Amino acid sequence: MKLTSEICIVCETKRGEGIYVYNNLICYECERNLVNTETNDPKYIHYLKQLRKLEVSYF
């Protein structure tokens, strides 16, 4: 968890805290929504599209 304000990869708003996946911020609110969204919910597709933006770096 970093303390600087960065943009959440899911909601695209400036957030101060959250979790980092491959150096990309997911704010706590979006994390909670991701975990609790059922696969038949229309928001699920939106979350998948947003997560595809993750920048994966192995180095």
**Percentage of the chain exceeding pLDDT 90:** 75
Task: Please give the pLDDT value at position 58.
Answer: 59
Element containing residue 49 per DSSP (H, E): helix 42-51
Closest CA to 22 of 52, 46, 47, 58: 58
Confidence check: pLDDT of 33 > 60: yes
4: closest CA among 58, 20, 59?
Answer: 20
Whether the full predicted model's pTM is greater than 0.75, yes or no, is yes
Residues 33 and 14: beta-carbon distance below 8 Å? no
The position carrying tokens 């998948």 is: 48
CA–CA gap between residue 51 and residue 45 (Å, rounded) = 10
Q: Is the per-residue pLDDT at 34 higher than 70? A: yes
